[in-house]
Structure 1
Amino acid sequence: MTLRVQILKDKLSQSLGLPFQELLPESAIKQAISELKIKYKKRLFDPIITLWAFLSQVLDTDKSCHNAVSKIIAHLAEEEVEIPSSDTSGYCQARARLPEKLLEKLFNSSAKNLEEQMTEDHLWYGRNIKVIDGSTVSMPDTVENQKEYPQPSSQKPGCGFPIAKIGVIFSLVTGAAVALCIDVLNTHDIKLARKLYSFLKPNDVLLGDRAFCAYADIVTITKLGCDAVFRKHQSRTTTMRKGKIVGDCDKLVTWHKPKRCPKGLSKDEFDALPQSITVREIYYYIVIPGFRTARVSLITTLLDKSTYSTLEVIGLYGKRWDVELDLRHLKTTLGMDILRCKTPSMVRKEIHVYLLAYNLLRSLMWQAGTTYNTPPLRLSLQGTRHHLINFIDKLEAVTLQKRRRIYRTLLKVIVHKPVPDRPARTEPRARKRRPKAYPSMTKPRHELRKQLQTA
C-alpha cells in the first residue's frame, strides 16, 4: 500500500502537480491538513491523492468517477505493484472523507497566493479591483439535495432539479475567484454579498451591478477602507437638479438613511448606520446597436474627480462584464453548471474543487502571460485546459531536465493564440441549431412510466 501511494504521489506531482506547484504543492496540502488537525488512515486514496484525482476529474471533459479511477489504474499499470479495483466505491468514499474546510482553505489559499504575484503595474491607480456577482448551479434530483437546496417553486415535484445560489468575488487583474458563498435559490444577491465583504482588503475597489447598490452596503464597504462602483438601483430616480455638479453628467449627491429597516439587516445594524452619506453619481449613454441598456447611472464612493476622472470610472465599470465571462468559464467551459454529486455536502465540495481548479488554470495563464509578455486575461481558459490535459502524459514520463523544457513549451503554446480584444462586439441573441422536439416533463418520471405501461 505504501509503495503504491508513493508511486501515485510521484506521478501526479510530476504531471498534474507540476503546472500548479507554486500554488498547490504537496507541502501546502500537508500543511493545511496539519493546521486543520485532520487524521486519516494509510490507504491508497489518502487526502492528497484523492484531491489530485478530484481536480483531474473536474478538469476533464469526462467527469465520471469511473474515468478518474481508470486514470489511477493507468498510473500504476506499468509498475510492479498490485493494481487497485476498477470499482469506484473506494474513490467515492475517499471524496466523502475530504473535509469541506480543507477544500475551502485550499481554495482561499490559491486565490491569496495568486494575488501576491501582482505588482503595482497591474493595479488601477494603485487599487486592486474586485468584481462581485451571483449565479446558480443545478444538481442531481435526490431527496437530500432537494431538502437542502429546493427546486424552484414554479416546478412540479419530480419534474425539476435542486438549485443552489452562489455568490463569487473575482479579481479583475488575475481573473481568479477570491471568495465564495453558497445558499438556497431564493436568496437575494445582496444577502450573499454581505457574507463576502469580509474577504475584501483595505484599498480594494468593488464593482457590481445594481442588485448590490444599497445604502447599508455602501456604508459597510467604506468602513472596510474600500470603495464601490455600482450601477444605480432602478428604484432610485435620476435627476440633475439635486447635488453638486462636478463635471458633465457627474455630480456629488447626498443619500439619507432609509426610514425603515431594510430586509436582511438587524435592528442594531440599522441603528448603527449614519444619517447620510455622500456618493458620486455618473450617468452616460450607450449607442451601440444591439446593446440592451441605453442609459447607465453609476454610484461610486470614489469622490475625488481629479484623481478618478469621469471617463476612467466609466471605463472601469465597463470591465464589470468580465465577471459574466468568468462565471461562464466556470459553468460552461469547466462544466460546473450541472453538478454530479448526490448529497449537499458533496455538492459544496464539488463547487470548491471546481473553483480551485479554475484558480489553478488562472495561475497557469498568469505564469504563461508574465513569462512571454502577454496579458494573462487575453489568454483562452479553454485552450489552457486543452493544452494542460494534452501535456500531462508527456510531463510524467521524462527526466527532470526534459520535464522543465516541456513545461516551458506548455507555457509558450498557451500564449500562442491570445483571444482578440473585440470591444462593442454585437451578436444576435438567438440560436441557429434547433433542439430536439421532445416535450418537457410535467409529471414525475414514475407516473410517466405507468402511462407507458397502461397505454
Structure 2
Amino acid sequence: MTLRVQILKDKFNSYLGLPFKELLPASVIEQALSELKIRYYQRLFDPIVTLWAFLAQVLDTDKSCHNAVSKVIAYLAGQGVEIPSTDTSAYCQARSRLPEKFLEKLFSQVGQSLEEKLGTEHLWCGRNVKVIDGSTVSMPDTVENQKAYPQPKTQKAGCGFPIAKIGVIFSLATGAAVALCIDVLNTHDIKLARNLYSFLKPNDVLVGDRAFCAYADMFTIKNINCDAVFRKHQSRTTAMRKGKIVGDCDKLVTWYKPKTCSKGLNKDEFNALPPSITVREIYYYIVIPGFRTQQVSLITTLLDEGTYSTLAIVGLYGQRWDVELDLRHIKTTLGMDVLRCKTPSMVRKEIYVYLLAYNLLRSLMWSAGTTYSTPPLRLSLQGTRHHLNNFIPELLAAISTKRLKIYRTLLEWH
C-alpha cells in the first residue's frame, strides 16, 4: 500500500506538483492536515492522493469519478504493483472523508499566496483592489440537496433543480478568488457580502455593483480601514445640486442614517451606525451609437480627489467587468455551473475544489506572464487548461532533468 501511494504521489507531482509546486506541494497539504489535526489511515486514497485526483477530475472535460479512478489505474500500470479495482466506491468514500475546512483552507491559502507575489507595479494608486460579485450553481435533484438548497419557489416540485447562491471576492490584479460564501438561492447579495468583509485586509479597495451599495456597508467597510467603490443603488436619486463640488461630475455628499433598521442588521448593529457619513458621488454617461445614453453614478469612500482622480475611479469601476468574466470562466470554462455531487456537504466541497483548481490555473498564468513579460490577465484561462492537460502525458513520461524544460515550454506557449 505504501509503495502504491508513493507511486501515485510521484505521478501527480510530475504534472500537478511541477506547475503548482510553489503553491500546492505535498508539504503544504500535509501542513494543512497537521494544523487541522486531521488523522487518517494509510489507504491508497489518502488525503493527498484524493485531493490531487479530485483536482485532476475537475480540470478534465470528463468529470466522472470513473475517469478519475481510471487515471489512477493508468498511473500504477507497469509499476509492478497491485492494480486497484475499477470500482469507484473507494475513491468516492475518500472524497467524502476530506473535511470541508481542509479544502476551504487550501483554497484560501493558494489565493493568498498568489496575492503575496504582487508588486507595487500591480497595484491601483498604491492599493490592492478586490472585486465582489454573486452567482448561482445548480446540483443534482436529491432530497438532501433540495432540503439544504431549495429550488426556486416559482417552480413546481419535481420540475426544478436545487440551486445554491455563491458570493466570491476576486483579486483584480491576479484574477484569483480569495474568499467564498455559499448560501441558499433567495439570499440577498448584500448578506453574502457581509459574510465576506472579514476576508478584506486593511487598505484594500472593494469594487461592486449596485446590489452592495448600502449605508451600513459603506460605514462597515470604512470602519475596517478599507474603501469601497460601488454603483449607486437605483432606489437613491441623484440630486445634481446637492453636495460639495470637487470636480466635473464629482461631488461630496452627506448620507443620513436610515430611520428604520434594514433587513440583515440586528438592533445593536443598527444602533452602532453613525448619524451620517460623507461619501463621494461620481456620475458620468455611457454613449454607444444606436443605444440609449445611460447615466452611471458611483458612490465611493475615496474622498481625496487629489490622490484618486475622477477618471481613475471611473476606469477602476470599468474593470469590474473582469469579475463577470472570472465567474463565467469558473462556471462555464471549468464546468462548475452544474455540480455533480448528491449531498450538500459534497456540493460545498466540490465548489471549493473548483475554486482551488481555478486559483492554481491563475498561478500558472501568473508564472507564464511574469516570466515572459506578458500581462497575466490577458492570457486565456481555457487555453491554460488546454495546455496543461495536453502537456500532462509529456510531463509524466519525461525524466526529471527533461521535465523542467517541458515545463518552461508550457509557460512560453501560453
How does the TM-score come out when normalised to structure 2? 0.99
Task: Name the residue aligned to 1:262.
Answer: 262
Which position in structure 2 is the counterpart of 1:22?
22
Question: Which residue pairs with 2:351 in the alignment?
Answer: 351
Aligned counterpart, 1:372: 372
- 1:127-276 correspondence runs (5 A): 127-276=127-276
The one-letter amino acid of 1:159's match is C
- Mapped to 1, the partners of 2:40 and 2:312 lie a distance apart of 53
3-state secondary structure, aligned to 1:15: helix
Instruction: State the AA in 2 paired with 1:99.
Output: P
Name the aligned partner's letter for residue 64 of structure 1.
S
- State the partner residue of 1:446: none
Deviation of 1:293 after TM superposition, in Å, equals: 7.1
Larger deviation, residues 293-302 vs 362-371: 293-302
- RMSD of aligned alpha carbons: 0.9
Equivalent position of 2:99 in the other structure: 99
Structure 1 residue runs without a partner (length 5+): 415-455
CA distance in 1, matches of 2:48, 2:289: 52
Q: In the alignment, what sits opposite 2:303? A: 303
1:68 counterpart residue number: 68
Task: For residue 19 of structure 1, give the secondary structure of its aligned residue in structure 2.
Answer: coil
Alignment partners' CA distance in 2, 1:117 and 1:293: 41
Distance 1:290 1:307 in 2: 36
Moved more, 285-294 or 264-273: 285-294
Counterparts in 2 of 1:189 and 1:353: CA distance versus 1, 3 Å: same
Comparing 391-400 with 357-366, greater Cα deviation is found at: 391-400
Q: Distance in 2 between matches of 1:292 and 1:113?
A: 44
Q: Which moved more, 1:390-399 or 1:235-244?
A: 390-399
The residue identity in structure 1 corresponding to 2:345 is S
C-alpha distance in 2 between matches for 1:292 and 1:152: 33
Distance 1:316 1:342 in 2: 40
Amino acid of the residue matched to residue 382 of structure 2?
A: Q
Number of the residue aligned with 1:3:
3
- Give 2:27's aligned amino acid: S
Q: CA deviation at 1:239?
A: 1.3
Q: CA-to-partner distance for each residue in 1:379-420, whole Å, 9 max, x for gaps?
A: 000000000001111112222221000000000011xxxxxx
Q: Percent identity?
A: 80
Looking at structure 2, the residues matched to 292 and 42 of structure 1 have their Cα atoms a distance apart, in angstroms, of 65
Q: Which runs of 5+ in 2 are unaligned?
A: none
Residues 88, 293 of structure 1: alpha-carbon distance in 2 compared, 3 angstrom cutoff? farther
SS of 1:255's partner is strand
Distance across 1 between alignment mates of 2:217 and 2:352: 26
Q: How does 1:274-353 map to 2 (within 5 A)?
A: 274-289=274-289, 294-353=294-353
Partner deviation per Cα, 1:322-359 (whole Å, 9 max, x = no partner): 11000000000000000000000000000000000000
Aligned to 1:405: 405
Tell me, in whole angstroms, the C-alpha distance in 2 between the residues paired with 1:124 and 1:178: 18
Q: Secondary structure at the match of 2:195?
A: helix
Distance in 2 (alpha carbons) for counterparts of 1:49 and 1:247: 58
Partners of 1:280 and 1:95 in 2: CA distance: 49
**Aligned-partner Cα distance in 1 for 2:156–2:240:** 48
For 1:350 and 1:78, the matched residues in 2 are separated by 31
Per-residue CA deviations over 1:72-105 (Å, capped at 9, x if unaligned) read 0000012100100001011000000000000000
Is 2:150 aligned against 1:124? no
Q: Which amino acid aligns with 2:25?
A: P
Between the aligned partners of 1:94 and 1:290, the Cα distance in structure 2 is 56
CA shift digits 1:257-305 (9 cap, x unpaired): 0000000001000000010000000000001247687110000011111
CA separation of 1:12 and 1:332: change in aligned 2, threshold 3 A: same
Per-residue CA deviation, residues 163-206 of structure 1 (Å, 9 max, x unaligned), is 00000000000000000000000000000000000000011000
Deviations, residues 29-58 of structure 1 (Å, cap 9, x unaligned)? 000000000011111000000000000000
Shift of 1:17: 1.7
- Partner-residue secondary structure (3-state), 1:62: coil
**Local SS of the residue matching 1:254:** strand
CA–CA distance in structure 1, aligned partners of residues 189 and 103 of structure 2? 24
Classify the secondary structure of the residue corresponding to 1:351. helix
Instruction: Report the residue type matching 1:115 in the other structure.
Output: E
Tell me whether 283-292 or 367-376 shows the greater mean CA deviation: 283-292
SS state at 1:20 partner: coil
Structure 2 counterpart of 1:147, one-letter code: K
Give the C-alpha shift of residue 138 in structure 1. Answer: 0.1
Q: Structure 2: how far apart are the matches of 1:256 and 1:343?
A: 45
Match of 1:86 in 2: 86
Q: Could you say what secondary structure the match of 2:178 adopts? A: strand
Take 1:251 and 1:4, find their aligned partners in 2: how far apart are those partners?
A: 67
TM-score (norm 1): 0.90
1:115 aligns with 2:115: yes
2-structure distance, mates of 1:291, 1:339: 37
Partner of 2:383: 383
Q: CA deviation at 1:15?
A: 1.5
d(CA) in 1 for partners of 2:289, 2:345: 45
The one-letter amino acid of 2:188's match is H
SS of 2:365's equivalent in the other structure is helix
